[in-house]
Amino acid sequence: MISIKGLSKVFTFNNKKLTAVDNLTLDIKEGEIFGVIGYSGAGKSTFIRLLNRLEEPTQGDILIDKQEITTLSANQLRLARQDIGMIFQHFNLLWSRTVKDNIAFPLEIAGIPKAKREERVQELIDLVGLTGRENAYPSQLSGGQKQRVGIARALANNPKVLLCDEATSALDPETTNAILDLLVDINKKLGLTIILITHEMHVIRKICHQVAVMEQGKMVEQGNVLEVFSNPIAQVTKKFVAQVMGTADEGEDIKSLQEMYTDGKLIHLHFVGESTNQTLISQIAKKFPIDINILQGKITQTQAGGYGTLFVQMIGEEEEINKAVVFIRDETSAEVEVIENVN
């Protein structure tokens, strides 16, 4: 669906050059939700604006549905943008227009007859959950409702791609989750390809299939969300994963557990994908004559499955504890690490 090769954007300020996007190459499949995450200044907003040429690339190629975006004339680009919807952090609504008139605006520009406009607008109002608010003005709407208008407007011309520029960062957590659920619903119902940029790993975890991590204009890591969560490589990725998993102070946690629980062995378990659904603790307790004390842990879900970590204390004969550890390693898909034998 989308193929990007050697994409760069260089800004010049006071005769000094700043590379905001640095030689990016990636492919995005049709119908997937692709997340781009990075801290402020990473270049992610510039990247997404390059895709519909709200920013002109310095170099590189952007192929969307077999059409080379970077070579289009102004008139050709205007038509191509009808296939590329976009929603923004601060909604960008027309404050003098009602909900239905905001949604109808791109249809008016496209020259769609009034009867068809009204039919399409009502479809979109129902789709995004704004039935009954058709005649309200933006000043009368909550933040979540405003973003629903923005989403409906972006979908007006039946685009093939939806670009989301920090679409939830101005919303509270509950509203954010509602908007993310709406995007997932739209993705499934319409088969829409969604590219979403954010600085929040929670957003990536909740709805994305693939993720690319940006730092200083470069893509430093990319892959399936579950794989990136379970095995982050770049330091910046590890920081983002720690935000969601609460593993930033894991070293301190281990030290505290070692001091508090001095019997038996301290075991660190990692669960990925289907292994999160295994009744592992129950199996071990039934199979081996040892006591198991669950100390702390967390499981989080992604679109591709779960990922989690768990600390347990195993108390009993050392031989039986060792057998249990071998069983986990050889007979289950969970990963196991013996932190310390304190006996």
Asked if residue 44 lies in contact with residue 37, where contact means CB atoms within 8 angstroms, the answer is: yes
Q: Which residue has the tokens 């603790």?
A: 281
Q: Is the pLDDT of residue 343 over 50?
A: no
Q: What is the pLDDT of residue 254?
A: 66
Q: What is the mean pLDDT of residues 73-97?
A: 91
**For 35-74, b where at least 16 C-beta lie within 10 A, e where not — what string?**
bbbbeeebbbbbbbbbbbbebebbebebebeeeebeebee
Instruction: State the maximum Cα–Cα separation within the chain, in Å, rounded to a whole number.
Output: 80
For each of the domains in the chain, give its residue range(s) and CATH number, in order of start.
Answer: 2-243 (3.40.50.300), 250-341 (3.30.70.260)
**Token digits for 128?**
């995004």
Q: What is the pLDDT of residue 271?
A: 78
User: What is the tens place of the pLDDT at every residue in 200-248?
Assistant: 888 998 899 999 999 999 999 999 998 888 788 999 998 888 777 655 4
User: What is the tens place of the pLDDT at every residue in 144-195?
Assistant: 999 999 999 999 999 999 999 998 888 898 999 999 999 999 999 999 999 9
Residues constituting the chain:
343
Q: Is the pLDDT of residue 7 over 60?
A: yes
Q: What is the mean pLDDT of residues 39-52?
A: 93
Q: Work out the pLDDT band at 253, boundaries 50, 70, 90.
A: low
Q: What is the pLDDT of residue 275?
A: 54
- Return the minimum-mean-pLDDT range out of 9-13, 197-201, 278-282: 278-282
Q: Is the pLDDT of residue 132 over 90?
A: yes
Q: Is the pLDDT of residue 342 over 50?
A: no
Q: What is the pLDDT of residue 21?
A: 95
Q: What is the mean pLDDT of residues 54-81?
A: 92
Tell me the average pLDDT of the chain.
88
Q: What is the pLDDT of residue 128?
A: 94
